[in-house]
Amino acid sequence: MTEATPPRPPRLVKSLVALVLLYAYGVLGAVLAGVPLAEVTRLYYGGHPRGDSPLAAPGALALGDLLLGKGAAALSAALPTSLVLVVLVAIGAHLPFGALVTHLSRQHERGTLREAYAHAAKRFFVLGSATVLSLAARAVVVVLAGLAAEGASSAARGHLDDRAADYVGLGVLVPFAVLLFLVYVVTDLAYVGVVAHDDSLPRAIVIGVRALKKRGKAVLVPAFVSYVVGIGATALVASVVGLFAIAAPPAVLFLSHQAALLVKLVARAGWLARAIRPVMPSPVADDEPLSMTAEELAAEEAETKKDARGEETEHDEVAKDLE
């Protein structure tokens, strides 16, 4: 079942509650996944006069001692539990994420948040399948990038010095970085197709690729802006904390990184809102529709009539044989 494209691009502010719920889920999930590791910290620094502040002190002596010294065994025991919780939280995130995309795509219908979550629940496993497929594709690209960079550097060392050979290896990584970005874009387009357009996963991927080919600028520019803003926010917070708050307690570090994650989430949600129209074609859309053209429809209709005539001929031949 398909739906018409919204008459205008969705406005993120109208889906603010869905966005806040997705962010809140991420915060609660991060806290939950960190509980086993936090227990180890409490075990060794619960009675310290300064709490866990020494872990963020310059030189990282206390942190190094916790990770590699007295707390290494306890952390190793708690790490598997945290990893399992991280995976479960990541899987569950598909529900509020799908609800956000659904709410964005149905603003013109004035759909409720409850309806958005109900629809996202129906598409939950398809969204999860898209994530698994995307992660597999990214892993393949990363492995190939590593092999290509190492091979190029090794080959260049026979003709260039080590620094120049390393630059050659870095240069080889550029097309793979572009490929990773394209996988990111197609994945988000597929998410939108799966949730907002009720497409099957293969069809959503095909439509995402077609949108990328036919509306490259309209798709790539907002996606690239979202990508750069997300990376920039993370880098900025890391540099600011590192330069001006070296001795900041872990709570400050946590809040700083949560602020960066919020900026990344808003940037990505804005890009997803822009991706609604390219993935959901409409006959009244300004751009070229992704649906079948008139020529394609005429060709398909002619093919259908041809098949029907063939079936009638075959039926007549069978009737004659029976007589």
* pLDDT tens across the length of the chain (323 residues): 444 455 567 888 889 999 999 999 998 998 888 888 777 777 666 656 565 566 655 555 666 666 666 667 777 777 888 889 989 999 999 999 999 999 998 887 777 899 999 999 999 999 999 999 999 999 999 999 999 988 888 888 877 777 888 888 888 899 999 999 999 999 999 999 898 888 889 988 998 888 888 888 888 998 999 989 988 888 887 776 655 555 556 667 777 788 888 999 999 999 988 888 777 654 433 344 444 445 544 555 555 555 445 545 544 543 454 44
53-62 long-range CB contacts below 8 Å, 24 or more apart? 53/247, 53/249, 53/250, 55/250, 56/246, 56/247, 56/248, 56/249, 56/250, 56/253, 57/247, 58/246, 58/247
**pLDDT of the residue at 124:** 93
**pLDDT of the residue at 301:** 55
**pLDDT of the residue at 281:** 52
Q: Are 9 and 276 in contact (CB under 8 A)?
A: yes
Question: What is d(CA 133, CA 64) in angstroms, rounded to the nearest whole number?
Answer: 37
Single out the residue of 77, 57, 76, 54 nearest to residue 67, CA to CA. Answer: 76
Tell me how long the chain is.
Answer: 323
Q: Quote the DSSP letter at residue 48.
A: -
Residues 6+ apart with CB under 8 A from 198: 1, 2, 3, 123
Question: What is d(CA 198, CA 116) in angstroms, rounded to the nearest whole number?
Answer: 13
Q: Quote the DSSP letter at residue 5.
A: P
302-321 per-residue burial string, b: 16 or more CB within 10 A, e: under 16: eeeeeeeeeeeeeeeeeeee
Residues 6+ apart with CB under 8 A from 54: 45, 48, 62
Single out the residue of 101, 302, 264 nearest to residue 191, CA to CA. Answer: 101
Single out the residue of 135, 268, 259 nearest to residue 192, CA to CA. Answer: 268
Find the radius of gyration of the CA atoms of the chain.
26
